[in-house]
Amino acid sequence: MERIVIIGGGYAGIYALRELVKNKNIKITLIDKHTYHNLQPEVYDLIANKSNFADVTIDLTTLCRGFNHNHLEFKNLKVRKIDQHAKKIFTEEQEIVEYDYLIMAAGTRTFFPSSIPGLNNADDIKKLHRAITFKQSFERQLFEKIKNEAKQCADTHIVVVGAGLSGVEIAAEMAYYANKFFQRGNFSCDNLKISLISSSSSILPGLKQDLINISQQRLKSLGINIITNTKLQKVEDGYCYLSNGTKINHSFVVFTGGVESSTITAELDDVAKNNRGQIIVNEFMQTDRYENIFAVGDIAEIRNLKGEIMPPNVTIARISGTNAGKNVLNMIAQRPLEKCNPKLDGILIALGGEYAAGDIYGILTVKGRLAYEIKKYVFHSYRKPLIKLIKKGYAKLKRF
């Protein structure tokens, strides 16, 4: 029986799994150091109290149980070493997992440049436990603020560094949440400030100008201070020091200035990678050295058939994960492999509350409540079948 291992239970890994389970005569093992699949784009809703922990996670144990496959298992393990010649995976828990085919889907992590002193103390909301810690710290400070408002009214200042999608969305959600919080309670000490710092000449570099304009107008209406053409140089003594020669005080620093590949890619030391550590794959999602090792989602440098590098997002995770799953099954059945030619469906940006902006297939620009409803529909269309599976898996577990 052929053994397939997926490392990483994120979007790309789940889509690969959904293809692989179509073959009932193979053994599939999903490995992740976490017990849950983090629905990362929705974590901002969690921070802004629009959802709870259960809304932004999918339990991997019950998910795997929910699939109708007798040879599928989830292992909550931390990978330490991969021996691609012996086809063995070594884990921190001393368990060895063998494979015939391997799909790398471990994703990325926030990149904290060592050249910026003090940045190691910044908040990293890409990791769910860090996002929850940030949420708790922020709410604790709000409580202290209103508790002491008659005596003093100290500033609360959130500095968001990086004005790409993540930075813009977290700044917008936090500003909207804070504004509603103070309005609802009619608190006098409502001097929360949010600054968004972009090293580029605008926010959302690389996106269409109309999306940039809509987003910038919305951020300003939420009271967010946008600082462009400026880099963070160091974080020290409650201040952020900027490249324009100024310093601004901060209560929290949220860093969204870039990502790098999971450290696990270093274990495949003889495959081609780019300068961010992403594994370079061919049109079949295979590594250059091993046709039985695939890389998908954010951990891979994925190009379309024109040779253009695709941005790391959920759409590309879906397409690449699905393609790798199909091609593993094709290899097992000795069928021709299918080329992956990813295309972006568009982009949708959450901008606080029930407001969003989006570009649909490069044809239509939408904004406001309509864009928000489209974004929620896309999310629910992904989550709904997974919820069905984990309910089925949970029912199976309760029988034992």
Residue-wise pLDDT tens digits, 290-343 = 999 999 999 999 999 889 899 888 889 999 999 999 999 999 999 999 999 998
So what's the pLDDT on residue 151?
Answer: 47
What percent of the chain is predicted at pLDDT more than 90?
A: 54
CATH topology of domain 3-33+77-110+259-344: FAD/NAD(P)-binding domain (3.50.50)
pLDDT digits (tens, 9 = 90+) for 154-195: 567 889 999 998 899 989 988 888 777 666 555 445 567 899
Confidence of residue 150 (pLDDT cuts 50, 70, 90): very low
Rounded to the nearest 10 degrees, the angle between the axes of helix 165-185 and helix 209-221 is: 30
Mean pLDDT of the chain: 87
Contact predicate 296/108, CB 8 Å: no
Share of the chain above pLDDT 70, in %: 89
Where along the chain do its domains lie?
3-33+77-110+259-344, 119-255
- The CATH architecture of the domain made up of 119-255 is 3-Layer(bba) Sandwich (3.50)
65-89: average pLDDT: 95
- Residue 98 clears pLDDT 90, i.e. is over it: yes
pLDDT score at 99: 98
Residue 20 · residue 28 · CB < 8 Å: yes
Residue 228's pLDDT is 95
3-33+77-110+259-344 matches 119-255 in fold: yes
Q: Where are the beta strands (DSSP E) in 21-87?
A: 27-32, 36-38, 57-59, 72-76, 79-83
Which pLDDT band holds residue 284 (cuts at 50, 70, 90)? Answer: very high
Residue 345: pLDDT band with limits 50, 70, 90: confident
CB 141 within 8 A of CB 157: no
Residue 191 has a pLDDT of 64
pLDDT average, residue stretch 228-240: 91
Instruction: Please tell me the least confidently modeled range out of 21-30, 60-69, 82-91, 122-131.
Output: 122-131
pTM score, two decimals?
0.87
* 328 burial type by CB count under 10 A (0-12 exposed, 13-18 middle, 19+ buried): buried
Q: Supply 67's token pair.
A: 């699939």
